[in-house]
Amino acid sequence: MNIPFVRHRLDNGLEVLIHADQNCPIVAVNVWYHVGSKNERPGRTGFAHLFEHLMFEGSQHYDKGFFHPLQAAGALLNGSTNADRTNYWEVVPSNALELAMWMESDRMGYLLPALTDAKFENQRDVVLNERRQQYENRPYGLAGMAIVAALYPPDHPYHWLTIGAAEDITAARIEDVRAFFQTYYRPRNASLSIAGDVQPDQALRLAEDYFGELEAGEEPPPFTCTPPDVRTSESRMVLEDRVELPRLYLAWHSPALFAAGDAELDLVAEVLASGKTSRLYRTLVFEQRLATEVAASQNSREAGSFFQIVATAAPGRSLTELERAITEEIDRFIQGGPTAVEMERCRAQAESQFVYRLQTVGGFGGKGDQLNAYNVFLGEPDYFDRDLARYREASSAALQRAAAEYLRPETRIVLSVVPKGRTALALEDAQPAVVA
């Protein structure tokens, strides 16, 4: 996997990565800030994401919205926030690179002078509507909140989802925006990638011109958190929702992003539930018809991950039947490990997914975004080959070991989501789930 790039660190600490790819006359400008909802505190959740919205509302030297000049130049642009980081990108025609650099540098350096109460209140309303649309008004939309709230204690920064609690969003104040910007939106807490149809020396000069003048500021406070205690007993919860079919969620703590066991559990998820030949799909959906769908994922994050299995009951089937069948399949996997054919298949899938993702220079998951991901999380933007090697070199014994170590019945959280008023459909002894 050859993604050649130039790396340079500006005096103010901003990392700049440039990858030339002349396939298409476009350039992707991508900025990662190493801040996410895990930098929030209890009672002030949802703030990192609300802040991301304000980054699109204009900055000191162009205060008429971030979208307008870029869309006028033919750009595609977006941003996103998760627990660990916030990213922003635009894909522009190659002759609009300087405009993108102007805009990104202006909001990195000069956001606050353009901030107003009206903008803040407007975007707070937009975010509350985003929350209603994506969580409150969506079937099973609150399950994710119940899972993380149960997996992590209240003072752990993964206890809440990035969207945050509605009451916290409502309570956010404009002063919080200023403090947050000054603490985290610093060149030294960011990584800038430029990928596409550029001359590297010219792109680097633009980066120096536009970003070099920004103040370095203080180092952000180091992130610390106490790892959650190792669980010693299963915890069962029930959540009532406006749904017709009950759904079961199983979740376990698992190794952090890039830690030993992380890639192995990604592959375990693949063998268990990716595609029709996967073990859980085959048993639950195909053969026994207990479920209408099943999914498994290793949700990799910097300060600790969680592994999750989700299955929706087929009409007339019970969550108890689902739980039993899933547990049996996990036991079987732990006893016997993956077969040679399964190893061949999950490695082939991992490898091809890797190549598919890197077809594009821009957007979420494209080459520019991936360079920044490796740089921000590992300080090694050239981690592509080693990342792929984690999957290529994982042995069947290692998958088996990872499953045995992390997917134990006594350490899991089990959430039953059932139709309103029908808590009898939940697994036995489930306690009402807590959602913000």
* Span 44-73, contacts to other proteins by CB under 8 A: 60-62, 65, 67-69, 71-73
Residue 139 binding other proteins, by CB under 8 A: yes
Residue written as token pair 């952000």: 220
**Which span (7-15, 81-89, 119-127, 146-154) binds other proteins, by CB under 8 A?**
119-127
Q: Which of 8, 12, 98, 321 binds other proteins (CB under 8 A)?
A: 98
Number of residues counted as binding other proteins (CB under 8 A)? 79
- Backbone dihedral angles phi then psi of residue 79, each to the nearest 5 degrees: -155, 165
**Which span (41-49, 130-138, 258-266, 376-384) binds other proteins, by CB under 8 A?**
130-138
At closest approach, how far in Å is the CB of 97 from other proteins?
Answer: 9
Nearer to other proteins, 102 or 258 (CB): 102
At closest approach, how far in Å is the CB of 277 from other proteins?
Answer: 5
- Backbone dihedral angles phi then psi of residue 267, each to the nearest 5 degrees: -70, -35
Rg of the chain in Å (alpha carbons): 23
Nearer to other proteins, 210 or 249 (CB): 210
Contacts of 254 (CB under 8 A, 6+ apart): 261, 262, 265, 298, 304, 305, 306, 307, 406
Residue written as token pair 């099973």: 140
Q: Given phi > 0 = left and psi -120 to 50 = alpha, else beta, which region is 206? A: alpha
Q: Which of 6, 24, 112, 174 binds other proteins (CB under 8 A)?
A: 24
* DSSP code per residue over 311-380: EEEPTT--HHHHHHHHHHHHHHHHHH---HHHHHHHHHHHHHHHHHHTT-SSSTTSHHHHHHHHHHHHS-
Residue 136 binding other proteins, by CB under 8 A: yes
Query: Which tokens is 89 given?
Result: 């990108």
- Picking from 53, 76, 83, 228, the residue whose alpha carbon sits closest to that of residue 164 is 83
Residue 240 binding other proteins, by CB under 8 A: no
Residue 167 binding other proteins, by CB under 8 A: no
Q: Which of 9, 11, 25, 392 binds other proteins (CB under 8 A)?
A: 25
Nearer to other proteins, 135 or 306 (CB): 135
3-state percent breakdown (helix, strand, coil) of the chain, nearest 5: 45, 20, 35
At closest approach, how far in Å is the CB of 221 from other proteins?
Answer: 30
Residue 283 binding other proteins, by CB under 8 A: no
Residue written as token pair 């990195």: 108
* Span 194-223, contacts to other proteins by CB under 8 A: 209-210, 213
At closest approach, how far in Å is the CB of 147 from other proteins?
Answer: 20
- Picking from 87, 52, 308, 278, the residue whose alpha carbon sits closest to that of residue 190 is 87
* Span 360-419, contacts to other proteins by CB under 8 A: 360-362
User: How many Å apart are CA 412 and CA 403, to the nearest integer?
Assistant: 13
Map residues 309-348 to x or -, x wherever contact with other proteins holds by CB under 8 A.
---x-xx-------------------------x--xx--x
At closest approach, how far in Å is the CB of 231 from other proteins?
Answer: 31
At closest approach, how far in Å is the CB of 278 from other proteins?
Answer: 9
b/e per residue 142-153 (b: at least 16 CB within 10 A): bbbbbbbbbbbe
